[in-house]
Amino acid sequence: MENISVIILFLFVLFTLLGTGVWVGLALMGVAWVGMELFTTRPVGDVMLTTVWSASSSWTLTALPMFIWMGEILYRTRLSEDMFKGLSPWMAPLPGGLVHTNIVGCTVFAAVSGSSAATLTTVGKMSIPELRKRNYPEKMVIGTLTGAATLGLMIPPSLTLIVYGVTINESITKLFFAGILPGLVLAAMFMGYVAVYSKVGKDWNPNREDKLTFAQKVKNSRFLAPVIALIVVVIGSMYLGFATATEAAAFGVIGSLLLALGQGSLNWKTFTESLMGATRTSAMIALILAGAAFLSLSMGFTGLPRGLADLIAGWELSRLELLMVLLVFYIVLGCFLDGISSVVLTMAVVEPMIRQAGIDLIWFGIFIVVVVEMAQITPPIGFNLFVMQGMTHHEMSYIARAAIPMFLIMVLMVFVLIAFPELATYLPNNLRPGPV
């Protein structure tokens, strides 16, 4: 009963602060401050300074702003136009046609950007006009792009996996390994849905594409060469053990600058805009992480994490039942908080439960990323919905309805992960990455 009272108190303070417009990171610190004042006699100011500094000075976190900057640079290049030119000849003959460029384009860009929003914007700014021009169903164009853009959270380099790894002190490189196969499987499931819809959808009547010879398709593929080379440098350097995640991020920034320079899209304006964009996003995430670290310490003094873990252990839930409870919990939480905030806010409580249930923390990282992906397309706070609304000017409800099939596919992906945990654990257990 005492634990329930503490939870209600923390949630009341948190949602009061968030409701008044306080930034998420500062709101977490405010909740932690209240907890420290009520449950310990230690000097709160000194503890907060020490905790915030420790959380902000982690060397592992250095990869975060570098990967964000890489995505910001690529967003300002002609990468989306080149990807469409390179992919469309290969996608057109498939059942579902050029709608597959949304999914494959998001998958490719996700491998050089850890941001779902950057993936959505970069791919969408080129594919939406082209698909509309070819008379593809609007709901399919918007739904597939909104859903597939969430692959930016899973396929490495993933910002959410970096934050998760830092929060639970797990290898970032191993988490990156773990995201590859599930990310590709989820992309294949999205493509399967498009193929089926193209056969049964009553509104499916796109214009026919001109047939190209194999030689013409290969010639068009040259547009994909720069981004494929960048993926090989960034991802390959980690997987072959030549570089840590942070060093690979530095290679990625250099590669993206060279790519932008080669395309003629790098000038002082785009350079400073990309740098400031990366700085703003990194500062926001760093503040959330610092607030979460302070909140975790504060909750430790209350005994809340261990108490809840013991309480749930007393329910004697099976592994599947515990995961189903967490699935529903994170879906509901995702209606009110963004993905990174959901992860850092809950890990102090959830991690003891997971360890006690004997669930692999690397596998759980992928589980939680899939569920957080759902939050990106869940109203009222689903960030991808806002980005898509800004691009298409459709009503939020229209975009959310268009994304429902993608949401359901992600739910199915959770059960696929539970049934085949090796999807997430095979590569981390069998490849030998370099250091964190």
Angle of helix 116-133 versus helix 138-148 axis, rounded to 10 = 160
Q: What average pLDDT does the segment 205-216 reach? A: 77
Alpha carbon 85 to chain centroid distance?
26
Alpha helices (runs of H) in 111-148, residue ranges in sequence order? 116-133, 138-148
| Domain residue spans of the chain | 60-430
Left (φ > 0), alpha (ψ -120 to 50) or beta: where does 434 sit?
beta
195 vs 432, more confident: 195
Q: Based on DSSP, count helices (H) and strands (E) in the chain, helices before strands.
A: 21, 0
Mean pLDDT, to the nearest integer, of 36-45? Answer: 79
Distance CA 224, CA 130 (A): 18
| Contact status, residue 65 vs residue 279, Cβ threshold 8 Å | yes
% residues pLDDT > 70 (the chain): 93
- What local confidence, expressed as pLDDT, does residue 313 receive? 64
SS3 helix, strand, coil % of the chain, rounded to 5?
80, 0, 20
Question: With contact defined as beta carbons under 8 Å apart, do 185 and 436 qualify?
Answer: no
The residue-averaged pLDDT of 230-248 equals 81
> Could you tell me if 27 and 18 are in contact, meaning their C-beta atoms sit under 8 angstroms apart?
yes
The 10 Å Cβ neighbour count of residue 398 is 16
| Tokens standing for residue 65 | 């702003």
- pLDDT at residue number 436: 47
Report which of 31, 28, 73 is spatially closest to residue 342, judged by C-alpha positions: 28
On the question of pLDDT at 368 being above 50, the answer is: yes
- Cβ atoms of 416 and 188 closer than 8 Å: no
Rounded Cα–Cα distance for residues 35 and 43 (Å): 12
pLDDT for residue 191: 94
The token pair at 141 is 């164009």
How does pLDDT run across 68-109, given as a tens digit for each residue?
888 788 878 777 677 778 888 888 888 988 899 889 988 888
Residue-wise pLDDT for 100-154, tens only, equals 988 998 888 888 776 777 788 878 877 888 888 888 999 999 999 988 888 887 8
What is each CA distance from 136 to 17, 132, 377, 403, in whole angstroms? 44, 6, 21, 16
* CA 59/CA 155 separation, integer angstroms: 22
Q: 102-106, 210-214, 398-402 — which is least confidently predicted?
A: 210-214
Q: For the chain, give the mean pLDDT.
A: 82
Picking from 67, 246, 270, 62, the residue whose alpha carbon sits closest to that of residue 152 is 67
Using the structure block, give the residue that is written with the tokens 């490719």: 108
Strand, helix or coil for residue 315: coil
Given a cut of 80, whether residue 241 has pLDDT beyond it is no
Ranges 126-130, 303-307, 354-358: which has the least confidence: 303-307
Q: Which residue has the tokens 């420290």?
A: 36
Please provide the size of the chain in residues: 436
- For 127, 130, 133, 321, the CA distances from 212, given in Å and listed in that order, are 20, 18, 19, 52
**Cα(430)–Cα(99) distance, integer angstroms:** 35
What CA–CA distance (Å, rounded) separates 433 from 176?
A: 10
Say what the pLDDT of residue 298 is.
Answer: 79
Distances (CA, A) of 101 to 22, 107, 226, 255, 409: 39, 9, 17, 24, 18
Q: Which of 17-31, 317-331, 411-425 has the lowest mean pLDDT?
A: 17-31
Q: Which of 245, 239, 231 is nearest to 166 (CA)?
A: 245
Q: How confident is the model at residue 361 (pLDDT cuts 50, 70, 90)?
A: very high
